[in-house]
């Protein structure tokens, strides 16, 4: 992808503070961190988002993210961590190359990942479960 900033970061054409890389993935610090240690895990291959990425690749990416999360926690002594992954403009995605955010959490930080809990209709949920589950 010619105009994708994360493709360029993945290839090392744009500098990033890289924590880890191998032939498939790069892990680097976010340039505008939500908290200390906020980093991103990306596949080097371009996929716009979760609707495109191959499941096996996503599985290996998340396995790597669990290792990064544990090392971040040990090094930064954070109390918790949000793992966030935005898909589509409406969901807050601004860079259209799949990435996982690892956001360490500390008492008194300014991070907010929130929504207003809704009310579920059990009948509607049952129908939806049937429809969405079909063919998985
Ligand atoms: P999104 O909103 O798409 O889920 O997240 C994109 C993230 O990429 C943002 O947190 C933003 O700060 C980060 N970002 C955008 N451009 C760059 C860059 O050039 N370098 C680094 N390290 N992070 C970037
Ligand atoms: Zn890309």
**pLDDT > 70: percent of the chain:** 100
Domain 5-134 classification at class level: alpha beta
> pTM higher than 0.95, yes or no?
yes
Whose alpha carbon is nearest atom 18 of ligand 1?
31
- In whole angstroms, give the CA distance from residue 18 to residue 10: 10
Compute φ and ψ for 25, nearest 5 degrees: -135, 155
Assess whether the C-beta atom of 31 lies below 6 angstroms from ligand 1: yes
Instruction: Give me the DSSP letters along 3-37.
Output: T-HHHHHHTTSS---EEEE-SSEEEEE-SS-SSTT
For this structure, is 99 an active site residue? yes
Q: What is the pLDDT of residue 1?
A: 80
Determine whether the shortest distance from the Cβ of 93 to ligand 1 is under 6 A: yes
Mean per-residue pLDDT of the chain: 97
What's the CA-to-centroid distance between 38 and ligand 2, angstroms? 20
Query: From CA 53, how far away is CA 131, in angstroms rounded?
Result: 22
User: Per-residue pLDDT tens for 79-122?
Assistant: 999 999 999 999 999 999 999 999 999 999 999 999 999 999 99
Look-up of token digits 């109390």:
79
């Amino acid at each position: 992808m010619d105009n994708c900033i994360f493709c360029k970061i993945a290839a090392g054409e744009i500098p990033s503070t890289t924590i880890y890389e191998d032939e498939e993935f790069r892990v680097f610090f976010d340039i505008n961190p939500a908290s200390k240690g906020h980093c991103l895990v990306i596949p080097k291959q371009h996929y716009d988002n979760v609707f495109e990425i191959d499941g096996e690749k996503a599985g290996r990416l998340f396995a790597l993210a669990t290792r990064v999360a544990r090392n971040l926690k040990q090094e930064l002594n954070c109390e918790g961590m949000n793992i966030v992954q935005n898909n589509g403009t409406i969901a807050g995605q601004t860079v259209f190359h799949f990435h996982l955010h690892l956001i360490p959490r500390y008492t008194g930080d300014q991070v907010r990942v929130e929504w207003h809990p809704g009310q579920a209709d059990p009948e509607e949920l049952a129908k939806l479960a049937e429809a969405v589950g079909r063919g998985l």
